[in-house]
């Protein structure tokens, strides 16, 4: 009998020290919150990390079903950047296995590996304008970028009308940013793929993505940080213009925990609700509600006995309208499925990722595309279909439409995927916001010592 020990840390109410003043309280144990906690304890600061769920990782966590380990959102964790650096500084090994090749493309039913040829090889066989398109990535590295309002789709139409090229770019937008090419600024696309490293190195955790988060959480605890789950934060307290702590709900009672600063990983909109509109001011609140554009995707987990994909990493599609990529998790991490099963995670993005859409219709169309790409999908064992949107979106805002990390309250910051640096995406972007904010938080504390 195959079993999986999916390790969860289920801290119960009552463990935080109510009479202690922490250097920092962090609301939300997603990627941004955990990385911020790690960096602050590395700097020798007292930290309390709170989350209302029973596990760390936020939307990039994992769960078990029928012996399979399924990832809630993100499946790939990056190597060689700020995220990796955070683990190293905390003394935690990043337990991921890197596939080789990491990324391939599926074009006309064939797998195309462009690891060495890059954009020239990818586009060369599709359009005579490949060189012109490729040159724009070099231009991006030198700072020559299109205007902010030009979409990736409109920008690409200036070079080619080739349907395969347009679908390929659309699916790259969908895979990285959970939006369509018509919704993503071309500037953000070019910054990411031209200057940000473009997800060149990544891997999968054999215990599910939550395995890496549990390891980092353990590292935070070893350095004196406190993590408290199953805890609802009712309010971020602001007194005399400064964040002074939080109110939590314990057994139906509201209790106060004091801190010298607060960091929110709940997203700017939720942070506004926790602080109060009157505290943050009309300008900040209006800008947040005007700028923030949550995105959506559809996550499809299924298993087969026979292989469908001939690549160990992520496969990006070039002939689909909704389905953007797929990964066979068991190609690198067989522990994630019972013996004899191959576990797949496929991602689709609805034709309208920002705004309303018909969930049932989009799911049906995505499943049809899987069937068309892989006839063997008809025999698949369906495990889970999740639509990430609304209060639990794929991304809290589309790249290119982020707020700043700072708020009008000097010792209150946001971290995570709604306050990314321009053109950033994924877990790496959240870790980057954590580095920025933790540096500012430490400087703020030192100035008041």
Q: What is the pLDDT of residues 230-250, one digit of tens each?
A: 999 999 999 999 999 999 998
Does 325 lie in the same domain as 287?
no
Residues 288 and 310 placed together within one structural domain of the fold: no
Range scoring the smallest mean pLDDT among 31-35, 44-48, 201-205:
201-205
Say if residue 373 is in the same domain as residue 305: yes
Q: Is the pLDDT of residue 124 over 90?
A: no
- 27-36, 140-149, 176-185, 368-377: which has the minimum mean pLDDT? 140-149
Q: Is there a contact between 178 and 295 (Cβ–Cβ < 8 Å)?
A: yes
- Look at 116-130, 182-196, 299-313 and tell me which has the smallest mean pLDDT: 116-130
Domain count, the chain: 2
Mean pLDDT value of segment 145-174: 95
Are 75 and 327 in contact by the 8 Å Cβ rule? The answer is: yes
125 and 272 belong to one structural domain? no
Please give the model's pTM, rounded to 2 decimal places: 0.94
**Residue 168 within a domain:** yes
Q: Which two tokens stand for residue 97?
A: 């296995």
CATH code for position 111: 3.90.660.50
| Residue 108 and residue 192 in one domain | yes
Cβ neighbours around 218 below 10 Å, total:
16
Q: What are residue 297's DSSP bridge partners?
A: 388
Assess whether 357 and 423 both reside in one domain. no
Residue 13 lies in a domain: no
- Asked whether residue 9 carries a pLDDT value surpassing 60, the answer given is no
Task: Verify that 277 and 306 share a domain, yes or no.
Answer: no
Range of the domain at 269: 21-63+73-95+207-292+398-447
Q: pLDDT class for 5, splitting at 50, 70, 90? A: very low
> Would you place residue 2 in the very low, low, confident or very high pLDDT band (cuts 50, 70, 90)?
very low
CB-based contact 76:199 (threshold 8 Å): yes
pLDDT averaged over the chain? Answer: 93
Residue 246 counted as domain residue: yes
For residues 179 and 339, what is the distance between their CA atoms, to the nearest angstrom? 35
The answer to whether residue 197 scores a pLDDT higher than 70 is no
Nearest one of 309, 346, 308, 343 to 325, comparing CA atoms: 346
**Are 192 and 303 part of one and the same domain?**
yes
CATH number at residue 425: 3.50.50.60
């Amino acid at each position: 009998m195959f079993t999986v020990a999916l390790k969860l840390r289920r801290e119960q109410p009552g463990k935080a020290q109510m009479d202690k003043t922490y250097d920092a309280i962090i609301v939300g144990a997603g990627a941004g919150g955990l990385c911020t906690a790690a960096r602050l304890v590395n700097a020798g600061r007292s930290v309390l990390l709170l989350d209302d769920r029973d596990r760390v990782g936020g939307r990039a966590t994992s769960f078990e079903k029928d012996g399979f380990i399924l990832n809630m959102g993100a499946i790939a964790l990056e190597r060689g950047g700020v995220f990796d650096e955070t683990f190293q500084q905390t003394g935690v090994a990043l337990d991921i296995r890197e596939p080789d090749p990491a990324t391939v493309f599926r074009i006309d039913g064939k797998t195309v590996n462009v690891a060495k040829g890059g954009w020239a090889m990818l586009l060369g066989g599709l359009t005579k304008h490949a060189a012109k398109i490729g040159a724009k990535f070099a231009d991006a590295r030198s700072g020559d970028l299109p205007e902010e309002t030009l979409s990736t789709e409109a920008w690409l139409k200036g070079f080619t009308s080739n349907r395969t090229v347009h679908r390929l770019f659309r699916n790259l937008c969908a895979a990285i940013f959970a939006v369509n090419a018509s919704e993503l600024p071309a500037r953000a696309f070019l910054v990411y793929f031209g200057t940000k490293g473009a997800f060149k190195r990544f891997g999968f955790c054999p215990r599910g993505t939550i395995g890496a988060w549990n390891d980092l959480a353990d590292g935070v605890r070893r350095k004196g940080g406190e993590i408290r789950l199953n805890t609802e934060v009712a309010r971020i307290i602001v007194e005399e213009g400064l964040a002074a702590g939080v109110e939590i709900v314990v057994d139906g009672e509201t209790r106060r925990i004091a801190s010298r600063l607060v960091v929110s990983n709940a997203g700017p909109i939720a942070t506004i609700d926790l602080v109060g509109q009157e505290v943050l001011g009309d300008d900040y609140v209006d800008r947040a509600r005007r700028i923030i554009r949550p995105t959506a995707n559809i996550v499809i987990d299924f298993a087969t006995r026979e292989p469908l994909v001939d690549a160990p990493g992520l496969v990006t599609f070039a002939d689909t309208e909704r389905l953007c990529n797929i990964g066979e998790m068991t190609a690198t991490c067989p522990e994630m499925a019972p013996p004899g099963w191959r576990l797949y995670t496929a991602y689709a993005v609805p034709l309208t990722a920002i705004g309303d859409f018909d969930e049932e219709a989009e799911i049906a169309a995505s499943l049809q595309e899987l069937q068309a790409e892989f006839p063997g999908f008809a025999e698949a064992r369906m495990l889970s279909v999740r639509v990430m949107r609304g209060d639990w979106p794929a991304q809290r805002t589309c790249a290119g439409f982020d707020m700043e990390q700072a708020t009008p309250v000097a010792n209150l910051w946001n971290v995570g995927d709604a306050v990314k640096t321009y053109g950033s995406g994924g877990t790496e972007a959240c870790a980057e916001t954590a580095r920025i904010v933790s540096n500012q938080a430490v400087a703020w504390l030192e100035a008041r010592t």
